[in-house]
Amino acid sequence: MSYQRTIPRYPLSDYIESFWILSGNELFQKQSLQDAKTDLIFTLGSRVTYATSDGGQYTSTKSLLKGPREDSTTCVIQPPFTIIGIRFMPLGFLGFCKIPPKDFAKTPCEADLVLGQGIKEVENRLYECKDFEEMVACLEAWLMSKLLQHPSVEKRTEYLCRRISRSCGTMPIAEVCDNSGGEYKKMQRVFRDTIGISPKAYARIARFEHIHNSIINDDNPDWMDIIVRYQLVDQSHLIKEFKHFTGFPPQEFFSKMDAFV
């Protein structure tokens, strides 16, 4: 299996976390953790299946939009395959489309239903590209043409979302909302209506994403350091978070991390 990832240039970097490509000649099957971000996935004819923890299943060979989710999913890709993705910041998708990610948060949907038939034209251009670098240039040109002059994101929402992310999800939500009861209730509603999850769930996901990223390249994680760094109460709190997101306690998840993406 081959995987590459690159960071977009400004101004797309304000909206997009990364471009990525995944290819292989063997069956791909991995579990995706809960996530607060949106992916636009160009399957290029590859057969992709997403199975949710509640027994739901979605299969398609068409390009997909996969929104924020509060449960884990299993991704299965039939070989041979090459898929290319755009990973948006939590509110980044709204810089290119007025349809909020919460509309496709529960189940992936075919991208052309949201972004129109222009998706097919992009796919055709991607087929003609010689390498990943050329594909990224193609996607950047297309995204720049779609970048909205006035993105449909309330500035306050964007600010709070960034504040939660920068604190690694450790800042109490009431404090993020300036300790205002009315502001907190409003943000509960705005987050649900825009991203599809609550501010508390978003912060919890953001914290675990940072924990996960911190141990990916660590041969021997210092769990006590992680407890302190990410403001967990104690070891039982750490275990609770790992079981919630992965189904396993920390050390067992660490030994099975290759099965997750």
Tell me, letter by letter, the H, E, C secondary structure of 140-185: HHHHHHHCCCCCCCCHHHHHHHHHHHHCCCCCCHHHHCCCCHHHHH
Q: Give the pLDDT score at 221.
A: 94
Tokens, residue 173: 């939500």
Class for the domain spanning 2-146: mainly beta
Cα(252)–Cα(246) distance, integer angstroms: 10
Chain region(s) in the chain for CATH 2.60.120:
2-146
Q: Give the pLDDT score at 69.
A: 85
Chain region(s) in the chain for CATH 1.10.10.60:
155-259
Tell me which residue has tokens 């990223």.
213
Q: Give the pLDDT score at 83.
A: 96
217-222 long-range contacts, CB within 8 A, separation 24+: 221/250, 221/254
Q: Give the pLDDT score at 182.
A: 55
- Closest Cα to residue 68, out of 182, 158, 196? 196
Cα(142)–Cα(3) distance, integer angstroms: 22
CA distances from 154 to 12, 160, 203, 209 (A): 18, 10, 19, 25
How many beta carbons lie within 10 A of that of residue 15, not counting itself?
Answer: 21
| Burial zone of 138 (CB within 10 Å; 0-12 exposed, 13-18 middle, 19+ buried) | middle
Between CA 157 and CA 163, with CA 162 as vertex, the angle to 5 degrees is 95
Q: Give the pLDDT score at 150.
A: 63
**Hey, which bits of 112-177 come out as E strands?**
none
Tokens, residue 17: 């976390």
- Closest Cα to residue 169, out of 120, 218, 230, 116? 230
Cα(16)–Cα(6) distance, integer angstroms: 11
Q: Give the pLDDT score at 237.
A: 97
Return the sign of the alpha-carbon dihedral for residues 108, 65, 42, 71. Answer: negative
* pTM (2 d.p.): 0.89
Non-local (6+) Cβ contacts of 65 within 8 A are: 38, 39, 40, 41, 104, 108, 109, 110, 111, 114, 115
Q: Give the pLDDT score at 259.
A: 85
- CATH topology for 155-259? Arc Repressor Mutant, subunit A (1.10.10)
> What letter does residue 112 receive in the DSSP assignment?
H
Low-confidence residues in the chain, pLDDT < 50: 180
Q: Is residue 135 within 8 Å of 126, Cβ to Cβ? A: yes
Q: Is residue 195 within 8 Å of 90, Cβ to Cβ? A: yes
